[in-house]
Amino acid sequence: MSVLVVIENPDECPLCFTGIDPLPARSYLTDGELAAQRGARVFNICLSYRYQSIGYYVSLLAEARGHKAVPSITTIQDMKSVGLIRLASDELADLMQKLLAGREPGKLSLYAYFGKCPDKALEPLASRLFKTFPAPFIRADFSFAGGWQLVNVSPATVKELPPEDHGFAAARASEHFAGRKLSIPKKQVSRFDLAILTDPKEQRPPSDPRALKRFARAAEGMGMGVEFITRDDSGRLSEFDGLFIRETTSVDHHTYRMARKAAAEGLVVIDDPKSILRCTNKVFLAEILSRHRVPIPHTVILHSRNLAEVLPKLGLPCILKEPDSSFSQGVFMAKDPEVLAVTVRRMLKKSELIIAQEFLPTDFDWRVGVLDNRALYVCKYFMAPHHWQILGKGKGGRDVYGRVETLPVAKAPKAVVGAALKAAAAIGDGLYGVDLKQVGKKVVVIEVNDNPSIEAGAEDDVLGMELYQRIMEVFLHRMRERTRGDRP
């Protein structure tokens, strides 16, 4: 990936970069060969980012050309949003109170240069600001009112940097550009870059370390660059062409915010934000699957006034689900009327609506992995020993899973695969794990998961590396489509 450093008139830039030749902004805006570059990374250090200025157009046209601008138009707009700055202030609250303690109450301005600042004590704050609002130079204003608050963030232009910071700013920029292997552009085709979002501390991640390595190896074998990122890298999403979320998703969670931000910046995203919204709420799933005539268990959407419908429609035992339940958590069995009433009242304190479904006892659940409306794998997830779910609790509260048996798609029951594909199509064209039960000839869809488990030795037991390659092939195909403008 070629790197461009763009400014209006390089001869008038007050900063002296080491071994770097900035590109005139008008050349970037008008040169046809530069416009045709694929996947270039553009560091925009123009003198202004105001609306319709040259600096504004550099980032705007970079986005239109499929280039990765820093700052992106999204970042420039984010810095104008009072709501986003308040959100950033809340997220930085603990760090601000710690680092600014002892400072004289009042107002304070901090200049950050690619996440660095002359005051080493404040560098952790500068780093977090850069990750949240990725711009070469940032000015952040803080105010004390019973505690420190972030009141403004703006991209600082080279003309407004404090003169005493010029040497520091130039050195940090030179280091950053050199780290990106700066090269003045020549006609070349760059590879695509994929970010894989994980949480190293997650107890039940959707992919284990061996599977993650196989994803990376498959992508790299297709010429993609791969980097594992965490929630702290949210501000760097514009550096990538795709985002693969391998962390358990939720709407009220950074995974959804990062998916939404990545999609807004033009990345190919799996799980895409629409799929996260649809799959993580069981009430929505029940409604949309019913509307698309996908077979599901007999279901009642419960609220505070229709509890009496459960017994005549579902009988006992029945299953109660919180709308955002996952990994068998937030799912309960009610075996008698008293337990039913107590459990429903407790659950309704958290959500206005919950799901009640008939209980269908089986030795295992089917799981069909679907991507791009094609079945990838089929598994039997057996129930945990002496339990009615695939995940139970053993001694000391440890997780106990049932065994997993993986089948070739062609050898799975056609009714199971067909129902799974129909259910997935109702949600979108992302990566889904469709859970189903089969009782005799009856096949019903239990739920559709937007972030299905793919672990070494389980879901990949039939296809091996081919499973990871098929998923990465979809990423590569969609990235190419996005570059050509064939995919929105």
**What is the CATH classification number for the domain harbouring 395?**
3.30.470.20
Do 305 and 374 lie in one domain? The reply is no
Determine the pLDDT at residue 188.
35
Asked if residue 170 is part of any domain, the answer here is yes
144 and 206 co-located in one domain: no
- Do residues 362 and 324 lie in contact, with contact meaning Cβ atoms separated by under 8 Å? no
**Cβ pair 18, 128 in contact under 8 A:** no
Identify the domain boundary among 144, 179, 214: 179
Q: Which residues contact 414 (CB under 8 A, 6 or more apart)?
A: none
Q: 469 lies in a domain?
A: no
Distance of CA 320 to the CA centre of its chain: 29
- Whether 88 and 219 map to the same domain: the answer is no
Based on the number of CB atoms within 10 Å of its own CB, is 415 exposed (0-12), middle (13-18) or buried (19 or more)?
Answer: middle
Check: CB of residue 268 under 8 Å from CB of residue 193. Answer: no
* pLDDT above 90 as % of the chain: 58
- 454 within some domain: no
- Of 359, 384, 405, at which residue does a domain stop? 359
Task: Identify the CATH number of the domain in which residue 347 sits.
Answer: 3.30.1490.20
pLDDT digits (tens, 9 = 90+) for 201-226: 999 999 999 999 999 999 999 989 99
Question: Average pLDDT of 37-64?
Answer: 84
Kindly state whether residues 24 and 148 are assigned to the same domain.
yes
The predicted pLDDT at position 328 comes to 61
When divided into structural domains, the chain yields a total of: 4
- In this prediction, residue 487 carries a pLDDT of 66
Domain that includes residue 44, residue range: 3-179
- Same domain assignment for residues 373 and 261: no
Which of 160-164, 211-215, 349-353 is the least confident region?
A: 349-353
Question: Percentage of the chain with pLDDT > 70?
Answer: 96
Q: Do residue 400 and residue 480 come from a single domain?
A: no
User: Which pTM value belongs to this model?
Assistant: 0.64
Contact 74, 262 (CB under 8 A): no
Instruction: Name the β-bridge partners of 41.
Output: 3, 68
Helix (H, G, I), strand (E, B) or coil at 310: helix
Band (pLDDT 50/70/90 cuts) for residue 183 is: very low
Mean pLDDT within 191-209:
94
* 287 & 320 share domain: no
Asked whether the beta carbons of 110 and 140 are under 8 A apart, the reply is yes
Mean pLDDT of 51-71: 83
Q: Are residues 8 and 151 in the same domain?
A: yes
Q: How far is CA 11 from CA 42, 171, 484, in A?
A: 19, 18, 35
Structural tokens at position 75: 């970042």
In a domain, 464, yes or no: no
What is the reported pLDDT for 181? 40
Does residue 160 form part of some domain? yes
Instruction: Among 44-58, 178-192, 399-413, 466-480, name the one with the lowest average pLDDT.
Output: 178-192
Say if residue 419 is exposed, middle or buried (CB neighbours under 10 Å; 0-12, 13-18, 19+). buried
Show which of 359, 387, 404 is a domain's final residue.
Answer: 359
Kindly state whether residues 203 and 79 are assigned to the same domain: no
3-state secondary structure of 447: strand
